[in-house]
Amino acid sequence: MKRRAALFIPPLLAAAFLGACCPEAGLPAPPAAIAAAPRHFTFEVVHAYPHDPKAFTQGLLWHNGFLYESTGLNGQSSLRKVALETGEVIQKRKVDNQYFAEGLALSGDRLIQLTWQSQHAFVCDLSSLEPQRDFDYLGEGWGLTTDGGRFIMSDGTAKLRFMNLSTFAPEGSVTVTDQGRPVVRLNELEHVDGTVYANVWRTDRIAQIDPATGAVIAWIDLTGLLGAADRGDASPDVLNGIAWDAEKKRLFVTGKNWPKLYEIRLVERTATP
Ligand SMILES: [Ca+2]
């Protein structure tokens, strides 16, 4: 006997359809939107600037005409104020040898500098770079930025954690995904026009993230940014370091021990790789 053809709808899917009916039309609501495929960008170099090849860049931001940089490694960690055009380190505070400094964000006249595994952060005066106080937090510290209303922090996983600007108390988190797949090893961060840019550790890619949903909106591929001519005799590590000049709409990127820091312009690819 021939089996009667039957339309099999998995129970969960059926529930999603049946439970979400539109009362007015009596029709099922469309299934939840599948995350849109991210856009893909490459880059053009607008300008290349000198960068201290001894700077193991872990945090970078732009404020009032200067770069502020947090550098890592135990015994070499520092907080710096840097001149863009020359790469000159105008001010530098050494971080205690026991700490491996990480992400950096500015809130008012305070620079907040994370450490990697010590679960300890420094709140530093913007003018003197000296710590005014410090505090502890849970988990590893990787990248840090702020949207002006809260801190946004990465910890090497696919999570972005939100923290209170005054108390650093946790205020939730979001998992970063590319069409549903978690994107791990999020590192240095920068808040850019309502989105979050995140270096993905050990790649040449930056994810542009919608902080409300965690969805990757776009990928920025910086493969080849530090060319052989710019590399010179240096032994550069991975891409890390994003700063945004909101006033002049300039995007700066560099890497750990890179001898150059670049202003780049994004160029959209017409076909995905
Ligand atoms: Ca940054």
Does the residue 87 lie in any domain? yes
Residue 234 CA, ligand 1 centroid: distance in Å: 23
By DSSP bridging, strand 27-28 and strand 39-50 are unpaired
**241 belongs to a structural domain:** yes
Residue showing tokens 């005066």: 125
Q: What three-state secondary structure class fits 231?
A: helix
Q: Are the C-beta atoms of residues 112 and 134 closer than 8 Å to each other? A: no
In a domain, 4, yes or no: no
Place of tokens 């009032």: 64
Cα of 71 to ligand 1 centre, how many Å? Answer: 12
The reply to whether 9 falls in a domain is no
Q: Which two tokens stand for residue 49?
A: 């600037």
Whether 273 is covered by a domain: the verdict is no
Give the three-class secondary structure for 160: strand
Which stretches of the chain are DSSP H helices? Answer: 11-18, 228-231
Residue 177 maps to a domain: yes
Is residue 23, in this structure, part of any structural domain at all? no
**Under a CB-based contact definition with an 8 Å cutoff, are residues 207 and 198 in contact?**
yes
Domain containing 189 — which CATH number?
2.120.10.30
| Cα 26 to ligand 1 centre (Å) | 49
Provide the number of structural domains found in the chain.
Answer: 1
pTM reported for the whole predicted model: 0.86
Domain boundaries, position 65 = 38-268
Could you list the pLDDT tens digit for every one of the 273 residues in the chain? 444 444 333 433 333 333 333 334 445 444 445 678 999 999 999 999 999 999 999 999 999 999 999 999 999 999 999 999 999 999 999 999 999 999 999 999 999 999 999 999 999 999 999 999 999 999 999 999 999 999 999 999 999 999 999 999 999 999 999 999 999 999 999 999 999 999 999 999 999 999 999 999 999 999 999 988 888 877 899 999 999 999 999 999 999 999 999 999 999 998 655
| Ligand 1 centroid to residue 58 C-alpha, Å | 8
* Cα 20 to ligand 1 centroid, rounded to whole Å: 41
- How far apart CA 94 and CA 270 sit, in angstroms, is 45
Q: Is 162 among the domain residues?
A: yes
